[in-house]
Amino acid sequence: MAELASGPLSGVRILDLSTMISGPFATMLLGDQGADVIKVEAPGGDYVRAGGNRVGGLHATFHNNNRNKRSITVDLKEQAGVDVIKRLAATSDVFIQNFRPGVVDRLGGGL
């Protein structure tokens, strides 16, 4: 595993379930400051991965907004996926998501 960045947020773990631009950009800034950011993507990945003008299969905005992050794929439509997120959340300092209203309740509310 690559060495995590140092900075004022070293030792802070961020669990990032956000997609598109605003959430990933916010957590990118936290990662730039040394936070350990774990990016969680649904099967198929963040929608920005498939944006236009791709290089190596990925959009430049995706590369930029997800630097300094570790990533995993989790299917939140399966109970096993929800369980993975609950275990990661238990060891995280911050939980960030930008789901539409009501999505967390449909996922069991315990996220």
* Domain assignment of residue 51, yes or no: yes
Cα 38 from chain centre: 5
Tell me the pTM.
0.86
- Quote the domain boundaries for residue 59: 13-100
* Domain assignment of residue 85, yes or no: yes
pLDDT, one tens digit per residue, over 45-102 is 888 887 777 777 778 888 889 999 999 999 998 999 999 999 999 999 999 999 999 8
Q: Which residues is 30 bridged to in the sheet?
A: none
Count of domains for the chain: 1
Confidence of residue 5 (pLDDT cuts 50, 70, 90): low
* Domain assignment of residue 107, yes or no: no
Q: How confident is the model at residue 78, as a pLDDT?
A: 92
Residue type, 54: R
At 54, which CATH number?
Answer: 3.40.50.10540
* Domain assignment of residue 3, yes or no: no
Q: How confident is the model at residue 4, as a pLDDT?
A: 56
* Domain assignment of residue 110, yes or no: no
Instruction: List the beta strands (DSSP E) in the chain.
Output: 13-16, 36-41, 54-55, 58-59, 69-73, 94-96
